[in-house]
Structure 1
Amino acid sequence: MSVTTGPLASLATSLEEALRRMFSDWQELGRPELVERASNHAKAVFQAYASARPSGKDAYAAALAFVRGKELDEVQYDALAGALNTKIEERRGESPIASRKLQEALHWYEEEATAGRLWRLTWFGLLTSYFSHDPRAVSPAAEQGWAALRGLLQKTWPLIDRANQNVAVPEWLRTLREYPALITEGATDEFARDFLDGNEAALDALAQCVGIPEGSWFWQALVLSAVRACTEDTDSAFHACIPRLLELIRSRPVYRDQALELILARYYRLAERSVHEALRDFVVDKNVWRNPKLKAAGIATAWNRVPEEIWRMVLQWVNEGNLRDFFDVLAARNSADEGRLAFWSGYMSQITWTRLIFSSDTLMLARTNKDIRALIARESDSYASLTGNRNLDAFIMQIGEYIIVEFSTVGNAAYVYDAATLKFNRYSTSYHGGTVDLRYGFKSGARCRIVHKHGWEWQAKADLSRLGILPDNAVSRAKSQPVAPKSVLTPNETRRADPPVYSQIETRRTEPPAQPKPDPVRSRNDCVTVGPLTFAELQREVACFSGAYVIDKRAADGGRLWVEDPNQNMQLGLLLKSWGFRWANSRSAWYYGE
């Protein structure tokens, strides 16, 4: 019987079609790319589900109810977990993480986790709240709440990890298993090197896995970890890292002050501590720590974060920078260096204080000259202006007990004055620049006048030596020699070892002031009312601090008793405050508060 017709033919055709379809499906299933595509799709769906968050509306409603003090149910607690940093408009920006009820919520989450009832997605919500904390604009209460949240994550993480041992887990959980330090205080330490090396891909992948947003504390703390990592390197490696560290601090400045403390302390430990211009310019910027000369005035208080020896290191950088910039930038503009930079560089380590005085031309030139603009920016809080000559700048420095004034143009001598009897206010905001103030020594009153003629350096060195001012190399050699007995010190050495106190009361004994006022410090025999100090004892106490001295300008015209301290020693400042002295910003000196 033929099968070409009839029912059997129809059955054969159907069977052949079914076989053809079956073989076709087998060929499709055997293609790896299709299997991989299906697998990836399944993984993506799983990861999306495993990292799902409640709707923004539900999370906000739960956060609002929480800060209003309402009792939450289980569903609301699940929604609240990822919204702890949400700012509630109805409560003036208050967030749940800063709420006094936060501990109550954290206790609920801990109990649920301990009992094995805490949903994995709820714990992930807490993790996202932990990473979304932004330290740039939060209250102390929010900082405390964030630390408490970290403590909860540390306690409950082993429970969550153990509950997911034999099941497929999301990427965030797998990443946390690999980097458990992410929920500790040292969360960023192991990523510091990648950050320094600019390995953004690895960090971006990490951030995506565990949900770290751009504004997270994580990126700010990463800068501090990078700084710590560099401070543990060798001297040369650390020195090479500084530009990169400053770049990172500029971009993420939340922990800037802590980072600068670490950098400056490490720099101080270098075998070679020469000026680092980039570090100096960054730290003395008016928007960072400001000029170290302003510390004692209470203007640049950030310098109190570091020990005095580190402050002095940067202060010397500033002084040296001022000296070099004055002659390299200002005097060089008029071809007026005359070898002065090289000469005064020989006394660099003894310069304890500097001040720049700019002419109107220089201030105008700053608009187009970047070097002058940078110089003025560094001295923005302490420079003065000169009105007597549009093209004349001046530079004041202190070495020991002497104030030295240099000028920027040819034909101007330098003047050396006694700091204790200076006839102009060295802290004035403006000067004429002539014999009425900076050059009064042209007539009389200067201890030394340096004229910059050919070969002037030899005469200047001799004149300064007679005042006890020796070049740095000579001072270093003297310090290495045994100290002579006090009985054989020269008169000059005796004066420098025990600075004199200049008192108008002593110099005007033949002209006693009319109707003298009782003064607890005026007489050497009277006691200071704020402590058991006579005037002589005050002299001795102040003289213990290098460069500090007393000036008694009290008389019938109402002058004051001053203590000048060019080095701005913190310990002396505290003592003077305890004795009733006050700080005068106008002249950066201490006066007795009568």
Structure 2
Amino acid sequence: MRPLSPRMARLQQRLTDVGAAAFRDMPEPDLRALKGHVQSLQAMLSGAGAGAGASNDRIQTELVRFRETGKLHDVRSARLVSWGTRLRSVGQPALIEDGERFDPLLSEIDSFRSMPRPYRRCWRGLLDGYVNYDPGSARGAGDRNWRVLREYLNDNLPQLERSGQAPDWLAAIDDHANLLTEDPCTRYGAEILTGEGDPLEILRRDLSAGDTSWIGQRIFEAQIEAAVRFDDRRFRDVLPRVIGLIEEHDVLADEGLSRVLDRYAECASIEVDPALCETSVTRWGNPWLERNDTLWTLVRPDTRRMVSSWHKLRLIEDFFNLLSADGINDQRRIKFWKRHVDQISDMHFALGDAAYRDPRPSFKALRQMMKGRMMSLTSGGVSSNNAFIMRIAGHVYVEFGEEGNAMFAFDAAKLPFDLTKMQVAGNKTALKHPSHVARIVHNNGAGERWERRADRLIASLSTARGGPQVSHTTPSYGARPSASPPPSARSSSTGSSVGKDAELFAFLAKHGIKTADSRDKGGSLWAYAPRSGPAANELTRRNFAWAERRGAWYLRS
């Protein structure tokens, strides 16, 4: 190789100096985080053999040997079998589910107590079985043995060897010894919700607690429990975190959502929470539709009414903001119908071609919210026209999105259109049919706003059909709902049925049976209990019958 020229030699020296300076200013690498990620990855990708330092095949060999002899012959055998309590083999249950061999296994492991470090390794293997076995899906003696194992680990934790350089997992379980008690995760609830810490990362890294471990489920439940126990102010403060938590845990979400909704309904003020409303309606569907009873009966009836009002308010606002033309007048219509939201028992939406096919996210979200009550509007004039159809007491009211259209009122018993169809006409053959009982134009008359005329119309029509008195004050979604009148205030003709219902609902509550009562809509009283459960005979005696298709009991009339 030819020697470098003086010019190239100077260039080489400059590059060397620059490189040295760059490394001089570079901090020493912190490998602790990398080590943690490696351990977490091992826990997720490897079986029991990863912690035992051996393959699952070798562990299975020792498991077979222990089953045959009932003995752990040496330290290696004890360590491998300790890490294999969750492993199943053909025709054999896992040791943690074996009612005959699990207790002898613990006795055999006890024989290694005189060897502190080997015993500590065995204890760690048993801990892996405890952390990653799901008692909720236990087979055989699994649940009982899991509890025995918890007690064994808890009793022997203080005796583990701690001299010298203790392993990270031992420090972790010392800090989280509550995991070995009957109340393993309550301490984490408020701590995580308020952002004071995240023990899950430590448990995953140092104790190999995978995402499928029961610990994750218990921590979820602990956070929900902590949230619903907070006072109103703190509960509202953490609600965005709780909603995010629910959305991240699909399997556990329904139980958590029901508790959060019921807690919100107990707040002194129950104004609309858009995120909570959207999450609940997205998961459970429209709250006022009977076909969604299965999930909506997870919450109390007053809670369901609260979300129904929220959902109606959202639909009213979105209809007049997104699906109508006259922005100024539509703000007046929004305010008008919001005052009547608690009297609206049902809603339907007939969308013109433009709104039905609009690809924008806001329109897609609106169509999703209208699911189950949406149809196509034909003969509505321009393609941008849409119709909003509401039922109040014995009448149906129709509003249109395009300006220049009046509001029409129809007798619900004599509708000239069918709301169960996929489409409806927006002309005189249907939504503007001459059989309407009233028509109001959204123009102010001499000295009177159109809202006053519409208020009188709704009040008079509701009273004429014996419907509820219509209130024009703030609806109940912003304050505590008033209590139902006491039985003594009702007519004597309904007294006996009220008494029977009270006794029936007391029985259902005693047995923890969820119900859905649609009798006031011409439907049935449904009781969600197992077909052959402990309450089956009593339900049959009380004139309930089993509906196979729905998987529930209904009260025969």
Output the TM-score relative to the length of structure 2.
Answer: 0.67
Alignment of 1:456 with 2:450, yes or no, is yes
| Paired position in structure 2 for 1:435 | 428
| Paired position in structure 2 for 1:191 | 188
| Paired position in structure 2 for 1:379 | 370
| Paired position in structure 2 for 1:56 | 55
2:119 and 2:275 mapped to 1: Cα distance? 52
2:528 and 2:400 mapped to 1: Cα distance? 32
Contact 1:349 1:472 (8 Å CA) reproduced: no
Three-state SS of the structure 1 residue aligned to 2:52 is coil
2:388 and 2:126 mapped to 1: Cα distance? 60
**How far is the alpha carbon of 1:224 from its aligned partner?**
2.2
From 279, 293, 313, give the equivalent of 2:288. Answer: 293
Counterpart of 1:397, as a letter, is M
Counterpart of 2:147, as a letter, is G
From 350, 356, 373, give the equivalent of 2:343. Answer: 350
Show the 5 A alignment for 1:406-421: 406-421=399-414
Contact 2:192 2:198 (8 Å CA) reproduced: no
| Paired position in structure 2 for 1:223 | 220
1:246-296 deviation digits (Å, cap 9, x = unpaired): 2122223332122112211110110011111101111111xx2222133x2
1:80 and 1:349 mapped to 2: Cα distance? 64
| Paired position in structure 2 for 1:447 | 437
Three-state SS of the structure 1 residue aligned to 2:376 is strand
Contact 2:188 2:219 (8 Å CA) reproduced: yes
Seen in structure 2, the aligned counterparts of structure 1 residues 86 and 458 have a Cα distance that, compared at 3 Å, is same
Counterpart of 2:438, as a letter, is C
| Paired position in structure 1 for 2:94 | 96
From 138, 146, 149, give the equivalent of 1:150. Answer: 146
1:83 and 1:121 mapped to 2: Cα distance? 13
| Paired position in structure 1 for 2:131 | 131
1:82 and 1:564 mapped to 2: Cα distance? 57
Three-state SS of the structure 1 residue aligned to 2:320 is helix
1:155-193 deviation digits (Å, cap 9, x = unpaired): 212442354378666443444344332134532221223
Contact 1:418 1:447 (8 Å CA) reproduced: yes
Contact 1:195 1:222 (8 Å CA) reproduced: no
| Paired position in structure 2 for 1:82 | 83
Fraction of identical pairs, as percent = 23
Seen in structure 2, the aligned counterparts of structure 1 residues 332 and 277 have a Cα distance that, compared at 3 Å, is farther
**How far is the alpha carbon of 1:113 from its aligned partner?**
5.7
**How far is the alpha carbon of 1:60 from its aligned partner?**
5.5
1:525-551 deviation digits (Å, cap 9, x = unpaired): xxxxxxxxxxxx99x979x99xxxxxx
Counterpart of 1:387, as a letter, is T
Seen in structure 2, the aligned counterparts of structure 1 residues 270 and 96 have a Cα distance that, compared at 3 Å, is same
2:224 and 2:388 mapped to 1: Cα distance? 36
Seen in structure 2, the aligned counterparts of structure 1 residues 216 and 448 have a Cα distance that, compared at 3 Å, is same
Show the 5 A alignment for 1:27-66: 53-58=52-57, 61-62=60-61
Counterpart of 1:360, as a letter, is D
Counterpart of 1:53, as a letter, is A
Seen in structure 2, the aligned counterparts of structure 1 residues 334 and 570 have a Cα distance that, compared at 3 Å, is farther
Three-state SS of the structure 1 residue aligned to 2:409 is strand
Give the gaps of 5 or more residues in structure 2: 1-49, 464-468, 477-481, 502-517, 530-538
Contact 2:259 2:299 (8 Å CA) reproduced: no
Seen in structure 2, the aligned counterparts of structure 1 residues 579 and 134 have a Cα distance that, compared at 3 Å, is closer
Counterpart of 2:218, as a letter, is A
From 227, 242, 253, give the equivalent of 2:239. Answer: 242
Contact 2:133 2:214 (8 Å CA) reproduced: yes
**How far is the alpha carbon of 1:324 from its aligned partner?**
1.5
From 325, 329, 341, give the equivalent of 2:322. Answer: 329
Counterpart of 1:57, as a letter, is N
Output the TM-score relative to the length of structure 1.
Answer: 0.64
**How far is the alpha carbon of 1:84 from its aligned partner?**
4.3
1:80 and 1:140 mapped to 2: Cα distance? 22
Contact 1:334 1:410 (8 Å CA) reproduced: no
1:357-402 deviation digits (Å, cap 9, x = unpaired): 222210221x12x322221122234322223333221212222232
| Paired position in structure 2 for 1:279 | 276
1:87 and 1:406 mapped to 2: Cα distance? 65
Q: Alignment RMSD, CA only?
A: 4.5
2:287 and 2:471 mapped to 1: Cα distance? 25
Contact 2:321 2:327 (8 Å CA) reproduced: no
Alignment of 1:303 with 2:296, yes or no, is yes
Seen in structure 2, the aligned counterparts of structure 1 residues 470 and 405 have a Cα distance that, compared at 3 Å, is same
Seen in structure 2, the aligned counterparts of structure 1 residues 291 and 113 have a Cα distance that, compared at 3 Å, is farther
Seen in structure 2, the aligned counterparts of structure 1 residues 432 and 170 have a Cα distance that, compared at 3 Å, is same
> Which has more radius of gyration?
1
1:234 and 1:403 mapped to 2: Cα distance? 42
**How far is the alpha carbon of 1:151 from its aligned partner?**
0.4
Three-state SS of the structure 1 residue aligned to 2:473 is helix
| Paired position in structure 2 for 1:164 | 160
| Paired position in structure 2 for 1:233 | 230
- Count the aligned residue pairs: 448
Three-state SS of the structure 1 residue aligned to 2:218 is helix
| Paired position in structure 2 for 1:523 | none
Show the 5 A alignment for 1:544-559: none
| Paired position in structure 2 for 1:397 | 390
1:160 and 1:584 mapped to 2: Cα distance? 52
1:485-515 deviation digits (Å, cap 9, x = unpaired): 99xxxxxxxxxx99xxxxxxxxxxxxxxxxx
Give the gaps of 5 or more residues in structure 1: 1-50, 487-496, 499-536, 546-562
**How far is the alpha carbon of 1:73 from its aligned partner?**
4.9
**How far is the alpha carbon of 1:145 from its aligned partner?**
6.2
Contact 2:345 2:390 (8 Å CA) reproduced: yes
| Paired position in structure 2 for 1:108 | 104
**How far is the alpha carbon of 1:322 from its aligned partner?**
1.3
1:66-113 deviation digits (Å, cap 9, x = unpaired): 99x87765266743443444577x78xx9737x8x5333432334346
Seen in structure 2, the aligned counterparts of structure 1 residues 573 and 431 have a Cα distance that, compared at 3 Å, is farther
| Paired position in structure 2 for 1:265 | 262
1:572 and 1:171 mapped to 2: Cα distance? 52
Deviates more, 1:415-424 or 1:308-317: 415-424
| Paired position in structure 1 for 2:379 | 388
**How far is the alpha carbon of 1:470 from its aligned partner?**
2.7
